[in-house]
Amino acid sequence: MLPVNWIEPSPYQARTVFDDTEIAALAVSILQNGLLQPVSVRRLGMRRYQLVAGERRLRACRLAKLEKVPAIVSDFDEGQTAALGLLENIQRTQLDPFDTARGIREVIRLWGCTQAEAARRLGLSQPALANKLRLLSLTPEQQQLCTLHQLTERHARAALRLPESRRTAALQKMGEEKMSVREADKLVDAMLASPEKPSPCRKTVPMVKDVRLFVNTLQHAVDMMVQKGIGATTSCTRKDGCLEYIVRIPVNGTAEEAPAGAPPVAPAEAPEASDGAVAAATQAPQEALV
């Protein structure tokens, strides 16, 4: 029986998100029935132990205000500690695919071994391990999109077939439309069949990273319209110290000339906006340029 305040968290904990409701329910169960399975720790020094496995149980015990918990003290090194913590999470509760990939990358670093050896020791096939590590090719923002929309590892792997610049738009659409894996694959196939048209601003005007992100997002939206058969076009110019990005969307879906003598099509009514609001919506400020 170890005092709870003698046990330090593991620096190799793969899981980054814990369900507070789930931890609270576990705390109630522990108060009523006791901790049925001890946590695993390794000794660091006098009155100092490091958790090896049982993060959720330890959090629940702390929430239940227990002073001591049953613990199994084992002589593990850092590599074993990281691997066992990862395996517990994989085997007990489904781990976020990106947390899993980061955990695998960490144990490979600690073990100093090849992917084939790591796969054998973790009980995975080498292709499965390699596929999990490939998920880390997505940017942190793209990983957050997957987590936010609860997209699976297979959704993320489908997006990896696209060029980096088109993955965000694909993941956003998969999440917003709650696509199945099959639908996600079809979306990626359609995007690959439609070559990406570079934004007219991308290579012609230097700009800081944040502005480039917004310009790329606009272009992604236009790309999606084009894939649906809408003849949208874009143009980008520098004017009055600003970027002016114009998107033209034909009202009938295709860019056709109006017949001679036909009255102009009235735009849909919209709330009036001040000149400053219009400028803010269509132009990037000079301070954003480099």
Residues with active-site annotation: 55
Phi and psi (nearest 5°) for 266? Answer: -75, 135
Distance of CA 266 to the CA centre of its chain: 42
Strands 71-73 and 233-239: unpaired
CA dihedral 74, 79, 80, 83 (to 10 degrees): 140
- Helix ranges, 34-152 (H): 55-63, 78-92, 97-111, 115-122, 126-134, 140-148
Nearest to 52 by CA among 21, 14, 16, 24: 14
How many CA within 13 A on the CB side of residue 153? 17
What are the tokens at 277?
């609001």
